[in-house]
Structure 1
Amino acid sequence: MSITAQSVWDNCLEFIKDNIQPQAYKTWFEPIIAVKLTDNALSIQVPSKFFYEWLEEHYVKILKVSLTKELGETAKLVYIIKMENTYGNKQPFTEKIPSTNRGSVKSQDVDIPLNNKSPELRNPFVIPGIRNVKIESQLNPNYSFENFLEGDSNRLARSAGLAVSAKPGGTSFNPLLIFGGVGLGKTHLAHAIGVDIKDKYPEKTVLYISAEKFTQQYIDAVKKNNRNDFIHFYQIIDVLIIDDVQFLSGKTGTQDVFFHIFNHLHQNGKQVILTSDKAPVDMQDIEQRLLSRFKWGLSAELQTPDFETRVSILRNKLYRDGVDMPEDIIEYVAKNIKTNVRELEGAIISLIAQSSFNKKEITIDLARIIVEKFVKNTKREVSIDYIQKVVSDYFQMDIDTLQSKTRKRHIVQARQLAMFFAKKFTKASLASIGSQIGKRDHATVLHACKTVDNLSSTDKQFRKYVEDITKKLSV
């Protein structure tokens, strides 16, 4: 029986398979193609330069042992890198790299010197010029489950996060999509999951990245003709956390590459965690095939925290900072700042700062001044509570009446307008809007929005209501 490149490589693979983890074998050895055997040198084709560098960095010993076993001490291994062509040249091009000599070798179309390898091919996060194979997680250790306080508004998302961190890739929450408005803790929770996984599974590669940075890295990779390297880098991550995934909206190239990365990670039991300012159903200009994958796991919403949760957040913040504050002032701040957690903590920090810089005692009067300034400066971010107040005041009714079950026409219309403006001015989901405006379901909110649109175009008086309230909310 004659020895061929394929038969030699098959025997090498048998040996390698017995000596490494099945997942590593599947990722790093199954894609390799045996090309030819010449003068005791086996040529193998790998998908990218990143792939070659990873093999040389992590598996060179086992490759040497397996090849020596088959071909003897004089055996050589030559890598042929089939680089993806992203510039429209008709011919693909390859470069040949002997394992024993990493110098430049003339290829069929181009000559690429390898003694000046770009570190960014190995890892897009590495500072150019600094050799580093280790993938840093980019996580912020200050964001933990310990300081992410549980309340009705975040219980599902927090519990799902804990389940994922206990068994990454091993729950039905894959992907885990955390969505909600600005400042409600999406990024905090995403980091907390990553930090907890790193504590429990130090051997796992966890990576946090914003969708904006991911997009920029992809653009850079295409410019440098390194698209394959970019894909392979992300395919080796065990837990990938992408923040603000709605940023991919309209970016078809980035969506396409993320689709392939997502599929590979999901099929191989890796964990994907995403955050977004809206639910998948409300995302615009995201490909349907991606949206359908976002729905494979669990979409968990972070809602505006209720009064009790806001008080707990403030108490926790003060405790961590070692600051004492009277209970009535904590409750005053919690009662008046409802929109998001970031504003809530910002107001308490401002209050402490004003007190210490001006050597003033923290009083209700001081709290009132700070809160008024804070609310004034942040009023652009309209909350559902604020919308209900504006609509109720406009129709001269209280909020309880607006939210009531009554079917009186003028109250129903006021409620429908509140729902319509909540959809228009906030990023809350239809389900969240409904639950906050009289505990209705998402279908009721959808019907309300359609009714307001129809009445606006047919009823002159109703159109005036819409215009007046729009002006009040836009101030």
Structure 2
Amino acid sequence: MSTASFWPSCLEAFRHELTPQQFNTWIRPLRLENAGDGLVLIAPNRFVLQWVKERFVARIEELATAALGQAPRMALVVAEELVRPLTAPPAAAPAPAQSGRRSAQASLNPGFSFATFVAGKANQLARAAGLQVAEHPTSYNPLFVYGGVGLGKTHLIQAIGNHILDTNADAKIRYIHAETYVSDVVRAYQHKAFDDFKRYYRSLDLLLIDDIQFFGGKSRTQEEFFYLFNTLIEAHKQVVITCDTYPKEITGIEERLISRFGWGLTVGLEPPELEMRVAILLSKAAATGMNVDEQVAFFIAKHIRSNVRELEGALKRVLAYSSFHGQEITLSLAKDALRDLLAVQNRQISIENIQKTVADYYKIRISDMHSKKRSRAVARPRQVAMALAKELTQLSLPEIGS
């Protein structure tokens, strides 16, 4: 059997040996390529690579030996490493203490890096854009990142700052929340110190400004930021902005600013899909030195769908519950730890709430949905309500139908 035909047969073997969730999360994203007399297994990120290395690589080598007639040499790499020049000398890593001091001066959290930013379909474009800006500043200027609460906007833009700081220790970087910038403008106005204010911000090589929607309705702040933005862009300095909504949908912001936000690249962050939520949970658990079973991670991920922040909060609750009771983290323990949280969710998303919402949307009565009417005007809302109930509650279809 050739190498080209081996990998499909290997995937088929894992498809039968693993659950669909395990296969789709850990095996499907892998690629296999020839490298001289050996094989290269390519993972989408370091977390998947480490997980495969610990749990599945021995089985892959076993299948390869059986299919190819000999044990091949196998290397594991991350996809992004393949696009880096192999001849480039490795950059000297800064001393941890020195790096930490520089990050603190820039108001950056050293823990926010691209290595700890779990990638998936929901954020792959935003991550790729962020990495491009980090490696080639001003390639997209400004970079505008938008998305809901707790989806990783702050993590991503601080990862850009930390990456640039690691490669250029002399770079002048500042991460700032929009409300802090507003306070700086007010302070400069009170103390008649606008010259110092302008001199500081215009000297930056990279400005990372978070939650710019807080500029809404603050005309003096918007005016100052308008001139700062123009100055930095004209000087080929990088600007990265986050917001909770698409630029043209921001309320209370002047049109001249909104139009400039679109000069570079605008990317969105979406709520993570199930497999990505599982990967995030396992990554967060590994970062704390705790071992969480996949079954437990899938249980948490299925019930916490809104954002990464709530997902991390649920994980911390399970870890704390395990630590306080001196028990191993099991599915049963996770259910006990999250019992109150799940009860609140179940009250918020009940069959009755779903029926009322759907009936209101389609402008029919709830009694119509319970009737035996089969007209399109009733059948369609009934089907929508049942689909939502199956997706958002833990009830089976017979229970929903009754």
| Cα drift, residue 222 of structure 1 | 0.4
Query: Within 5 A, what are the aligned runs for 1:220-235?
Result: 220-235=187-202
Q: For residues 300-351 of structure 1, what are the alpha-carbon distances to aligned partners after superposition, in whole Å with 9 as ceiling and x for unaligned?
A: 1111000000011111112222211222111101111111111111111111
Q: 2:301 aligns with which of 330, 334, 338?
A: 334
> For residue 167 of structure 1, what is the aligned residue in structure 2?
136
Contact 2:358–2:384 (CA under 8 A) maintained in structure 1:
no
| Cα drift, residue 414 of structure 1 | 8.4
Q: 2:328 aligns with which of 356, 361, 367?
A: 361
Query: Within 5 A, what are the aligned runs for 1:181-200?
Result: 181-200=148-167
Q: 2:116 aligns with which of 123, 129, 147?
A: 147
Following the alignment from structure 1 to structure 2, what is the Cα–Cα distance between the partners of residues 343 and 390? Answer: 22
Unaligned 5+ runs, structure 2: 1-102, 360-374, 386-390, 392-402
Contact 2:157–2:240 (CA under 8 A) maintained in structure 1:
yes
Contact 1:235–1:264 (CA under 8 A) maintained in structure 2:
yes
Q: For residues 415-470 of structure 1, what are the alpha-carbon distances to aligned partners after superposition, in whole Å with 9 as ceiling and x for unaligned?
A: 999xxxxxxxxxxxxxxxxxx9xxxxxxxxxxxxxxxxxxxxxxxxxxxxxxxxxx
1:356 counterpart letter in structure 2: S
Q: 2:143 aligns with which of 176, 194, 217?
A: 176
Q: For residues 172-212 of structure 1, what are the alpha-carbon distances to aligned partners after superposition, in whole Å with 9 as ceiling and x for unaligned?
A: x2111111111111111111010001111222211101110
Following the alignment from structure 1 to structure 2, what is the Cα–Cα distance between the partners of residues 350 and 328? Answer: 17
| Cα drift, residue 281 of structure 1 | 1.9
Contact 2:317–2:338 (CA under 8 A) maintained in structure 1:
no
Judged with a 3 Å threshold, the aligned counterparts in structure 2 of structure 1 residues 237 and 387 are, in CA distance, closer, same or farther, namely farther
Following the alignment from structure 2 to structure 1, what is the Cα–Cα distance between the partners of residues 209 and 295? Answer: 40
| Cα drift, residue 166 of structure 1 | 0.5
Q: For residues 52-97 of structure 1, what are the alpha-carbon distances to aligned partners after superposition, in whole Å with 9 as ceiling and x for unaligned?
A: xxxxxxxxxxxxxxxxxxxxxxxxxxxxxxxxxxxxxxxxxxxxxx
Judged with a 3 Å threshold, the aligned counterparts in structure 2 of structure 1 residues 337 and 265 are, in CA distance, closer, same or farther, namely same
> For residue 218 of structure 2, what is the aligned residue in structure 1?
251
Query: Within 5 A, what are the aligned runs for 1:98-113?
Result: none
> For residue 458 of structure 1, what is the aligned residue in structure 2?
none
SS in 1 for 2:176: strand
Alignment RMSD: 3.0
> For residue 119 of structure 1, what is the aligned residue in structure 2?
none
Instruction: List structure 1 runs of 4+ shifted beyond 6 angstroms.
Output: 377-380, 386-389, 411-417
> For residue 21 of structure 2, what is the aligned residue in structure 1?
none
Moved more, 355-364 or 279-288: 355-364
> For residue 137 of structure 1, what is the aligned residue in structure 2?
106
Q: 1:211 aligns with which of 161, 178, 183?
A: 178
Q: For residues 6-42 of structure 1, what are the alpha-carbon distances to aligned partners after superposition, in whole Å with 9 as ceiling and x for unaligned?
A: xxxxxxxxxxxxxxxxxxxxxxxxxxxxxxxxxxxxx
| Cα drift, residue 361 of structure 1 | 3.1
Q: TM-score, normalised by structure 1?
A: 0.52
Judged with a 3 Å threshold, the aligned counterparts in structure 2 of structure 1 residues 392 and 270 are, in CA distance, closer, same or farther, namely farther
SS in 1 for 2:297: helix
Following the alignment from structure 2 to structure 1, what is the Cα–Cα distance between the partners of residues 132 and 218? Answer: 32
Q: Which has the higher contact order (CA 8 A, sep 6+)?
A: 2
Does residue 285 of structure 2 align to residue 315 of structure 1? Answer: no
Larger radius of gyration: 1
Does residue 311 of structure 2 align to residue 344 of structure 1? Answer: yes
Contact 1:174–1:271 (CA under 8 A) maintained in structure 2:
yes
Judged with a 3 Å threshold, the aligned counterparts in structure 2 of structure 1 residues 201 and 354 are, in CA distance, closer, same or farther, namely same
SS in 2 for 1:191: helix
2:264 counterpart letter in structure 1: G
Following the alignment from structure 2 to structure 1, what is the Cα–Cα distance between the partners of residues 275 and 249? Answer: 29
Following the alignment from structure 2 to structure 1, what is the Cα–Cα distance between the partners of residues 384 and 133? Answer: 38
Contact 2:142–2:238 (CA under 8 A) maintained in structure 1:
yes
| Cα drift, residue 394 of structure 1 | 5.5
Unaligned 5+ runs, structure 1: 1-133, 397-406, 418-435, 437-475
Contact 1:135–1:205 (CA under 8 A) maintained in structure 2:
no
Following the alignment from structure 1 to structure 2, what is the Cα–Cα distance between the partners of residues 267 and 375? Answer: 52
| Cα drift, residue 372 of structure 1 | 3.7
| Cα drift, residue 298 of structure 1 | 1.3
Contact 2:358–2:381 (CA under 8 A) maintained in structure 1:
no
Contact 2:301–2:311 (CA under 8 A) maintained in structure 1:
yes
Q: Kindly indicate which of the two structures has a greater share of residues assigned to helix.
A: 2
1:294 counterpart letter in structure 2: F
> For residue 270 of structure 1, what is the aligned residue in structure 2?
237
Aligned residue pairs total 269
Contact 1:336–1:371 (CA under 8 A) maintained in structure 2:
no
| Cα drift, residue 359 of structure 1 | 1.6
1:149 counterpart letter in structure 2: V
Judged with a 3 Å threshold, the aligned counterparts in structure 2 of structure 1 residues 216 and 388 are, in CA distance, closer, same or farther, namely farther
Judged with a 3 Å threshold, the aligned counterparts in structure 2 of structure 1 residues 409 and 202 are, in CA distance, closer, same or farther, namely farther
Q: 1:238 aligns with which of 185, 197, 205?
A: 205
Following the alignment from structure 2 to structure 1, what is the Cα–Cα distance between the partners of residues 174 and 107? Answer: 6
SS in 1 for 2:105: coil
Judged with a 3 Å threshold, the aligned counterparts in structure 2 of structure 1 residues 343 and 290 are, in CA distance, closer, same or farther, namely same
| Cα drift, residue 375 of structure 1 | 4.7
